[in-house]
Structure 1
Amino acid sequence: MDADRDKPAPRKAGFGATMRAVFWSFFGVRKRKDYEHDAAHLNPLHLIVAALVGVALFIGVLVVLVRIAVARG
């Protein structure tokens, strides 16, 4: 049991790594190895914020594309 205390805590991924994971997850092209690594290292709070930012960007791009399409029509 002393061996468990000597092991350092797993290093948490930064916000940039979280944004990359969310970006690739939007496309659904995550490798299983990457998914398992993310599940062990990503901060849940960063994950929620990154997902909200990703959704906001996605909706913003869609709104801009629709406005361009309607303006030309």
Structure 2
Amino acid sequence: MSEDLKNAAARKGSFLQTIRAVAWSFFGVRRSADYEQDVEKLNPVHVIIAGIIGALVFIGALVLLVRWVVGSGVAG
């Protein structure tokens, strides 16, 4: 099993490709053919890092949106 993990971690997909794939997955719009290509070429470590970054950006955007709405008096 560790040999499979080593092979997966040695994949040469770029981090930009990984970010793009994770961004599309956040929206839930990913074609099956694109998913298969991602599985073959993306580094799983990059996918985890990009997912964490994406989640943090999403949470930050939500916090800023709530602060803006509350601060503008629209929610009051």
TM-score (norm 2): 0.80
Larger radius of gyration between Structure 1 and Structure 2:
1
- Name the amino acid aligned to 1:71: G
Query: Which residue does the alignment assign to 2:62?
Result: 62
Two-structure CA RMSD over aligned residues (Å): 1.4
Partner of 2:52: 52
Name the structure 2 match of 1:13. 13
Q: Which runs of 4+ in 1 moved over 6 A?
A: none
CA distance in structure 2 between the aligned counterparts of 1:26 and 1:59, rounded to whole angstroms: 13
Deviations 1:29-73 (A, max 9, x none): 000000000011110100000000000000000000000000012
Aligned partner of 1:41 in structure 2 is 41
Letter in 2 for 1:48: I
CA distance in 1, matches of 2:49, 2:13: 14
Q: d(CA) in 1 for partners of 2:24 and 2:12?
A: 19
Q: Normalising by the residue count of structure 1, what TM-score does the alignment of the two structures yield?
A: 0.83
Structure 2 residue runs without a partner (length 5+): 1-10
Could you list the runs of 5+ residues in structure 1 that have no partner in the other structure? Answer: 1-10
